[in-house]
Amino acid sequence: MSLAAELLETAGYLTRRNQNRPTQADLRRAVSTAYYALFHLFVREATAALVTDPGLRGLVPRAFGHTDMRDACEPFASGRFRDPLRTLVPATTPPDLVSVAQAFLDLQPARHAADYDTTAAFNRPDTLAFVRQVGRAFAAWDRVKGEPVATVFLVSLLLGRRWNR
Protein backbone atom coordinates (compact mmCIF):
# COMPACT_ATOMS: atom_id res chain seq x y z
CA MET A 1 0.00 0.00 0.00
CA SER A 2 1.30 3.45 -0.88
CA LEU A 3 1.97 6.14 1.70
CA ALA A 4 -0.91 8.17 0.26
CA ALA A 5 -3.34 5.26 0.69
CA GLU A 6 -2.08 4.58 4.21
CA LEU A 7 -2.57 8.22 5.15
CA LEU A 8 -6.13 8.19 3.82
CA GLU A 9 -6.85 5.02 5.79
CA THR A 10 -5.40 6.62 8.93
CA ALA A 11 -7.55 9.73 8.44
CA GLY A 12 -10.63 7.52 8.26
CA TYR A 13 -9.60 5.67 11.41
CA LEU A 14 -9.11 8.91 13.32
CA THR A 15 -12.62 10.10 12.43
CA ARG A 16 -14.16 6.82 13.64
CA ARG A 17 -12.11 6.55 16.83
CA ASN A 18 -13.93 7.59 20.01
CA GLN A 19 -17.37 7.26 18.41
CA ASN A 20 -19.23 8.87 21.29
CA ARG A 21 -16.91 11.79 21.96
CA PRO A 22 -14.36 12.48 19.24
CA THR A 23 -11.44 14.52 20.47
CA GLN A 24 -10.33 17.69 18.78
CA ALA A 25 -6.89 16.11 18.46
CA ASP A 26 -8.31 13.15 16.49
CA LEU A 27 -10.48 15.35 14.28
CA ARG A 28 -7.68 17.83 13.59
CA ARG A 29 -5.23 15.02 12.85
CA ALA A 30 -7.79 13.42 10.51
CA VAL A 31 -8.20 16.61 8.47
CA SER A 32 -4.46 17.16 8.28
CA THR A 33 -3.79 13.53 7.42
CA ALA A 34 -6.44 13.52 4.69
CA TYR A 35 -4.80 16.58 3.14
CA TYR A 36 -1.39 14.93 3.27
CA ALA A 37 -2.82 11.80 1.67
CA LEU A 38 -3.79 13.88 -1.36
CA PHE A 39 -0.52 15.81 -1.28
CA HIS A 40 1.51 12.59 -1.32
CA LEU A 41 -0.67 11.09 -4.06
CA PHE A 42 0.09 14.10 -6.25
CA VAL A 43 3.80 14.07 -5.44
CA ARG A 44 4.12 10.34 -6.11
CA GLU A 45 2.22 10.51 -9.40
CA ALA A 46 4.03 13.62 -10.61
CA THR A 47 7.44 12.25 -9.70
CA ALA A 48 6.69 8.97 -11.50
CA ALA A 49 5.55 10.90 -14.58
CA LEU A 50 8.53 13.24 -14.65
CA VAL A 51 11.52 11.21 -13.45
CA THR A 52 12.72 7.86 -14.76
CA ASP A 53 16.03 7.68 -12.87
CA PRO A 54 15.47 5.81 -9.58
CA GLY A 55 18.22 7.82 -7.85
CA LEU A 56 16.51 11.10 -8.66
CA ARG A 57 13.06 9.87 -7.66
CA GLY A 58 14.04 10.17 -4.01
CA LEU A 59 15.15 13.78 -4.42
CA VAL A 60 12.41 15.27 -6.58
CA PRO A 61 9.55 15.12 -4.04
CA ARG A 62 11.28 17.76 -1.88
CA ALA A 63 10.88 20.25 -4.75
CA PHE A 64 7.08 20.33 -4.50
CA GLY A 65 5.64 23.28 -2.61
CA HIS A 66 2.21 23.47 -1.04
CA THR A 67 1.49 26.98 -2.33
CA ASP A 68 2.71 26.15 -5.83
CA MET A 69 0.51 23.06 -5.88
CA ARG A 70 -2.50 25.07 -4.71
CA ASP A 71 -1.87 27.66 -7.42
CA ALA A 72 -1.57 24.89 -10.01
CA CYS A 73 -4.90 23.40 -8.92
CA GLU A 74 -6.86 26.65 -9.29
CA PRO A 75 -7.15 26.72 -13.10
CA PHE A 76 -7.96 23.00 -13.25
CA ALA A 77 -10.77 23.49 -10.72
CA SER A 78 -12.13 26.66 -12.34
CA GLY A 79 -11.47 25.93 -16.01
CA ARG A 80 -9.82 29.35 -16.41
CA PHE A 81 -6.39 28.78 -17.93
CA ARG A 82 -3.75 31.28 -18.96
CA ASP A 83 -0.99 30.64 -21.48
CA PRO A 84 0.80 28.31 -21.83
CA LEU A 85 -1.73 25.95 -20.24
CA ARG A 86 -4.60 27.25 -22.37
CA THR A 87 -3.10 25.57 -25.42
CA LEU A 88 -2.35 22.29 -23.60
CA VAL A 89 -5.70 21.45 -22.01
CA PRO A 90 -8.99 20.54 -23.66
CA ALA A 91 -11.74 23.16 -23.89
CA THR A 92 -13.55 21.38 -21.08
CA THR A 93 -11.53 19.98 -18.18
CA PRO A 94 -12.62 16.41 -17.37
CA PRO A 95 -14.95 16.47 -14.33
CA ASP A 96 -12.76 13.94 -12.52
CA LEU A 97 -9.75 16.25 -12.80
CA VAL A 98 -11.87 19.20 -11.64
CA SER A 99 -12.86 17.26 -8.51
CA VAL A 100 -9.26 16.21 -7.83
CA ALA A 101 -8.04 19.81 -8.05
CA GLN A 102 -10.99 21.11 -6.04
CA ALA A 103 -10.33 18.61 -3.26
CA PHE A 104 -6.82 19.98 -2.84
CA LEU A 105 -8.15 23.53 -2.80
CA ASP A 106 -10.76 22.64 -0.17
CA LEU A 107 -8.45 20.61 2.04
CA GLN A 108 -5.48 22.98 2.18
CA PRO A 109 -7.18 25.74 4.22
CA ALA A 110 -8.85 23.10 6.39
CA ARG A 111 -5.42 21.58 7.04
CA HIS A 112 -4.04 25.00 7.94
CA ALA A 113 -6.88 25.51 10.42
CA ALA A 114 -6.41 22.02 11.85
CA ASP A 115 -2.68 22.45 12.29
CA TYR A 116 -2.39 26.12 13.27
CA ASP A 117 -5.67 27.69 14.39
CA THR A 118 -6.15 26.76 18.03
CA THR A 119 -9.50 28.58 18.09
CA ALA A 120 -11.01 26.44 15.31
CA ALA A 121 -13.40 23.71 16.41
CA PHE A 122 -13.87 20.58 14.32
CA ASN A 123 -16.80 18.20 14.32
CA ARG A 124 -17.17 14.64 13.09
CA PRO A 125 -19.58 15.33 10.16
CA ASP A 126 -17.35 18.01 8.62
CA THR A 127 -14.22 15.94 9.21
CA LEU A 128 -15.84 12.88 7.63
CA ALA A 129 -16.84 15.02 4.66
CA PHE A 130 -13.22 16.06 4.12
CA VAL A 131 -11.96 12.49 4.40
CA ARG A 132 -14.64 11.26 1.99
CA GLN A 133 -13.82 14.07 -0.44
CA VAL A 134 -10.20 12.91 -0.52
CA GLY A 135 -11.38 9.31 -1.02
CA ARG A 136 -13.48 10.45 -3.99
CA ALA A 137 -10.49 12.41 -5.32
CA PHE A 138 -8.36 9.24 -5.18
CA ALA A 139 -11.04 7.37 -7.19
CA ALA A 140 -11.40 10.27 -9.64
CA TRP A 141 -7.65 10.35 -10.12
CA ASP A 142 -7.63 6.64 -10.96
CA ARG A 143 -10.20 7.30 -13.67
CA VAL A 144 -8.49 10.36 -15.21
CA LYS A 145 -4.77 9.69 -14.75
CA GLY A 146 -4.38 8.06 -18.17
CA GLU A 147 -5.59 11.13 -20.06
CA PRO A 148 -3.02 13.55 -21.54
CA VAL A 149 -4.47 16.46 -19.55
CA ALA A 150 -3.62 14.58 -16.34
CA THR A 151 0.05 14.72 -17.30
CA VAL A 152 -0.24 18.47 -17.87
CA PHE A 153 -1.79 18.73 -14.40
CA LEU A 154 1.05 16.76 -12.80
CA VAL A 155 3.77 18.79 -14.49
CA SER A 156 2.04 22.03 -13.53
CA LEU A 157 2.14 20.99 -9.86
CA LEU A 158 5.91 21.33 -9.99
CA LEU A 159 6.53 23.82 -12.81
CA GLY A 160 3.36 25.89 -13.08
CA ARG A 161 4.72 28.93 -11.29
CA ARG A 162 7.77 28.99 -13.55
CA TRP A 163 5.56 28.92 -16.66
CA ASN A 164 3.82 32.13 -15.65
CA ARG A 165 6.85 34.37 -15.22
User: Residue 72: what residue type?
Assistant: A
Cα distance between residue 124 and residue 11, in whole Å: 12
Q: Which residues of the chain have pLDDT under 50?
A: 165
- The answer to whether 94 and 147 have CB atoms below 8 angstroms apart is yes
Whole-number CA gyration radius for the chain:
16
CA distance to 13, 15, 26, 130, per residue, from 18 (Å): 10, 8, 9, 18
* Rounded-to-integer distance, Cα 148 and Cα 64, Å: 21
> At 72, is the secondary structure helix, strand, or coil?
helix
Does pTM top 0.75 for this prediction? yes
CA distance 87 to 83: 7
How many domains in the chain? 1
**Reduced to 3 states, what is the DSSP secondary structure of residue 95?**
helix
Q: What is the pLDDT of residue 163?
A: 66
65: left (phi over 0), alpha (psi -120 to 50) or beta: beta
Domain span including residue 132: 3-163
